[in-house]
Amino acid sequence: MIRTIGVDLVDLKRFTDPPEERLVRRILSNDELAFYQTITDPKRRITYLGGRFAAKEALFKALPPHGGDARYTDITISADNDGKPVVRSRLIPQGDVVHLSISHTDSHATAFVILESDVT
């Protein structure tokens, strides 16, 4: 059963070229940061960062409130063998499943989240 949804759209102009290191570390988890540092194309770095930011914002909108203690780095988004985004986070209620789609152009990134629960 669908519990909630979340969506976000980001203007990639928000991220300078190159993005400030402080901002990158505020958004990306350690695993995401390790992958980000392997990206050599500056435009791809910005779309990766913007996509992760949009995805985490969409997830925050779908998740139950956490009393203001949730951080972007509490969420890690990786890819499965087919390239589909996979979300790991302590913020996701046990038993819930997150469906995530991320898309971007040269100027914008967007993400859509469905939080599904088997609880009726």
Domain count, the chain: 1
| pLDDT of res. 69 | 82
Catalytic residue among 61, 66, 84, 108: 61
In terms of residue numbers, what domain contains 18?
2-117
- Could you tell me which residues come within 8 angstroms of residue 52 by beta carbon, excluding any fewer than 6 positions away? 27, 28, 32, 77, 102
Average pLDDT score over residue span 70-81 = 95
Of 17, 83, 86, whose CA–CA distance to 49 is shortest?
17
pLDDT in tens, 6-61: 999 999 999 887 889 999 999 999 999 999 999 999 999 999 999 999 999 999 99
Measured between alpha carbons, how far is 116 from 94 in angstroms, rounded to an integer?
11
Look at residue 64 and give its three-state secondary structure. coil
Longest dimension (CA), the chain: 46
What CATH number did the domain enclosing 98 receive? 3.90.470.20
Catalytic residue among 66, 84, 99, 104: 104
104 is catalytic: yes
Measured between alpha carbons, how far is 103 from 45 in angstroms, rounded to an integer?
14
pTM of the model: 0.93
